[in-house]
Structure 1
Amino acid sequence: MNKLRYKAAIFDMDGTVLDTLDELTISLNHIFAVRGRMAVSKEDVRQCLGYGYAGLIERTASDTGAAEKEALIHAFKEYYTSHCQGHTYPYAGIAEMLEQLKAAGSLNAIVSNKGQRAVTALHEEFFSNTVAFALGETPNLAKKPAPDMIREALRRLDCRPDEAVYIGDSEVDKLTADNAGLPVVLVTWGFRDRSFLQRLRPAALADAPDELLTYLLPPS
């Protein structure tokens, strides 16, 4: 039997295990239309992801004042949380990869800057059998790239940093892993392009879920 490279695998959610770009763009443009703002493109949204709800609004509504930004953040959070499952799907091969990791004994978890209610709903819909738990944004834990959420995941998994790996798709994920003292694997099917991710110098790059599986569960 192949031996796991790490005891635990902690995954980012958006752009790593789930393709959420359509849903996030639809929800954001709905809120913008309600409040009289111009729509933004899917590509604009893609480049702004990774920083949570507030970060998305800060970057796509940078021309507005603080009070309006707060209103947009609140409206987006409420609308998206209620509609987060309509146009969101696991990337091809993710479900099978997670199943094989779990079968090999991997402790799988998700850590996301998305709000906890949406993270819980998506975890329950797609990953309840293969991922032990999913942590989202909560008031008592600083968001990524702060290390707090990763440290909480390690505590729940009863793992040391050197026993775990973090898997993500952005510069936020690389910095998060660095801050928490974990190696990071960056995947190229998410929200950043390969050349950009390569310049971040991760422990490994994966172009497909089966490549990621081979890295995490090397052939004997």
Structure 2
Amino acid sequence: MRKGCLFDLDGTLVNSLTDLALSTNEVLRNHQLPQHDISKYNHFVGNGIQKLMERALGQEHLDILDECLREFQVVYARRYLDHTQPYEGIMELIETLYDQGIKLSVVTNKPHDMAIQIVEHLFPNRFVSILGQQDAYPIKPNPESVHFALMAMKLSRQDCYFIGDSDVDIETGYRADMKTIGVSWGFRGRLELEEAGADYVVDEAMEIWRIINENWGE
């Protein structure tokens, strides 16, 4: 029986792209570098803030990467909840899962402190654990953070689904030997999720509950 769900954050539970893009563009502007359309950030995000900044800077400007990373953290800390909101249907999904006794955790490559603040602001007291990027473990797709979440939930990998919007998330679930659910509304789209080998791909949030409910006796 599936008793738990581990969710990615950005692109899965919340649409944070505008705040990430505007913060990165502000850093680029401060260095008189070209800025990017918000749509381009769909493929810049997903592997942590260092990769985000590397992709935004381009190979020719990596000499200022460390400086830009420090600036980004200051800028983003001011605006990370300006436009970030749950996707359509997510609030209903989380409340349904919580009410049905499904244990919930977040495993994300967003910096740990910011992940906690966003989740607790938008979904107070609904998640057993919130694990973001920190020195205690490698970022996804390494599954070590998943193992920490499972321990906090007191569940085994067979008890849970890993849910995300990118090939990074599907690989994370695969490496953790978990069933995976890809969400098509995020930053990467259905094709990437299918090619990554997701066990399920959904187009609406409540489809996740239907999958859990239909497989309740597994």
| Kept after mapping to 2: 8 A contact 1:101/1:217 | no
1:91 and 1:152 map into 2 onto residues whose CA distance is: 26
The unaligned stretches of length 5 or more in structure 2 are: none
| 1:9-158 equivalences in 2 (<5 Å) | 9-158=5-154
Deviation at 1:65, TM superposition (A): 4.4
TM-score relative to the length of structure 2: 0.94
The unaligned stretches of length 5 or more in structure 1 are: none
The superposition leaves residues 157-201 of structure 1 with CA deviations (integer Å, 9 ceiling, x where unpaired) of 111111111000001001111111111100000011212221222
- Which residue in 1 is equivalent to 2:197? 201
SS at match of 1:186: strand
SS at match of 2:33: coil
The superposition leaves residues 89-111 of structure 1 with CA deviations (integer Å, 9 ceiling, x where unpaired) of 00011011010001111000101
SS at match of 2:214: coil
The superposition leaves residues 22-73 of structure 1 with CA deviations (integer Å, 9 ceiling, x where unpaired) of 1111111111111111111112111111101001011121233444011112
| Kept after mapping to 2: 8 A contact 1:12/1:168 | yes
2:43 and 2:134 map into 1 onto residues whose CA distance is: 24
Identity of aligned residues (%): 26
Tell me which amino acid in the other structure corresponds to 1:151: H
Deviation at 1:78, TM superposition (A): 2.3
169, 172, 175: which one aligns with 2:168: 172
- Which residue in 2 is equivalent to 1:159? 155
TM-score relative to the length of structure 1: 0.93
SS at match of 2:115: helix
